[in-house]
Amino acid sequence: MGAGASTPADFSHKLRHGVIAKELDGGSLGEPSLAVIPQPGGVPLLALAYQVSSLPHQGSRDQYIAFTTSKDGGETWQPHRPVQWGLTPLWAPVLHWDAAGRRLALYYSESRKAPSPGGDIRRIVSLDAGTTWSPPSLVWAHEAHEPVPKVTSSRPVLGTSGELFLAVHLEPQGAHAVFNKDTYSELGAERAAVPCVTAPPGATPPSLLSAAAILVSRDGGDNWALASIIDHPKTWLNQPALEVLSDGTLVALFRSCMGQVFRSVGTPDGSSWSKPGAVALANPNSKLASLLLDDQLLAVHNVGSKDRASLTISLSLTAGRTWEEVVSLHKLPGGVISSPSIVAWSEDTVKVAYSVQGSGLRLTTAQLAVVQS
């Protein structure tokens, strides 16, 4: 894409669309997460994890995490198989390739005290590109900091001093109703029929804190600590996307209920953050994904502030303060396109996985080229 650019660039692009998995039998697929696993002297392995619900919306009691890989960049996929399941819903898998440890990590959330998104954040690790996995380890408990469900969102990012940062959010049960306003909510009314665990007399009441959180690990992800809580008095800061600039500065982008993406900038250790504020990037209360290429920040997001009928890539050369739309990925009038995940495939090519409601998971490969003037 070209390093060192300081003004908005003109782009040409080529798109290639493909189907990853189709929804069957009234179920739904969502929250895809991509990772690229280098292979010696060959095409990298493309890994994918996602959640599978037996209902038309996310959140069935038997919702589990599935995994697959592709040896040809997403043209074909190995058999999809469950890698984690249980008595309560599992949510929002996040893949991370640990280059130093030559291992693949999968982070996810497990409901334990509420049927809403999140709970405990856990991690499993594979040393053989997803063929086998370790037992789950606890990253951050439902009760940690405040007793509220914790939800995974975006891939961990490596800091300039070797730390690993994981951006998550805290989502009290029913928060979607509070912060939904007039925008789209992916949670169906059927959730009211799902039993909820009632706290016994004398138990600590659940917290109502809705916020983003930055976790930090100094041993490659084996142990985690809370670095910072980021909140706003008028909106939730949901499903944060996190990047590290070349000078170590952290930049977080958030889903909000205010019709725009919110942004905050953090110190290199993740302990201090600027007051979150809206940027000129519309957001219909939906998840977005980010990717940093040569200090140029890409965001994959829904267009507009009212629906999720289209998905686009926008570019920022100002660390997320200003944006320019560069590639339209998918349009589906009246449809719902959501939960993107983006990875760099080559110097000028990215791959984006996302969910299309009622259809399944799709993969779009975008080859980007700067138009020289």
Query: CATH no. for residue 283?
Result: 2.120.10.10
In a domain, 166, yes or no: yes
Query: 220-236: b or e for each residue (b if 16 or more CB lie within 10 Å)?
Result: bbeebeebbebebeebb
Strand partners, 310: 331
List pLDDT tens digits, range 316-366: 999 999 999 999 999 999 999 999 999 999 988 999 999 999 999 999 999
Nearest to 313 by CA among 295, 293, 298: 298
In a domain, 357, yes or no: no
Confirm if 59 and 52 have CB atoms less than 8 A apart: no
Nearest to 365 by CA among 12, 7, 14: 14
In a domain, 94, yes or no: yes
In 3-state terms, what secondary structure has residue 303? coil
CA distance 273 to 270: 7
Q: Which domain holds residue 43?
A: 24-187+207-290
CA distance 327 to 300: 9
Confidence bin at 8 (pLDDT 50/70/90): very low
Confidence bin at 1 (pLDDT 50/70/90): low
Confirm if 210 and 171 have CB atoms less than 8 A apart: yes
Identity (one letter) of the amino acid at 250? L
CA distance 315 to 190: 38
Judged against a pLDDT cut of 90, whether residue 256 lies above it is answered with yes
pLDDT of residue 10: 53
Say what percent of the chain tops pLDDT 70: 89
CA 114 to chain centre: 21
In a domain, 12, yes or no: no
In a domain, 222, yes or no: yes
Q: What is the pTM of this model?
A: 0.91
pLDDT of residue 6: 41
In a domain, 102, yes or no: yes
Instruction: Provide the H-helix boundaries in the chain.
Output: 175-178
In a domain, 263, yes or no: yes
Confirm if 153 and 94 have CB atoms less than 8 A apart: yes
CA distance 309 to 321: 25
CA distance 190 to 194: 7
| Contacts for 289 with CB less than 8 Å, ≥ 6 apart | 154, 241, 299, 300, 301, 340, 341, 342, 352
List pLDDT tens digits, range 270-283: 999 999 999 999 99
Judged against a pLDDT cut of 90, whether residue 312 lies above it is answered with yes
In a domain, 237, yes or no: yes
CA distance 343 to 276: 26
Strand partners, 268: none
Domain count, the chain: 1
What is the distance in angstroms between the CA of the first residue and the CA of the last residue of the chain?
A: 14
Confirm if 22 and 5 have CB atoms less than 8 A apart: no
Confirm if 116 and 171 have CB atoms less than 8 A apart: yes
In 3-state terms, what secondary structure has residue 214? strand
Which residue reads 């020289």 in tokens? 372
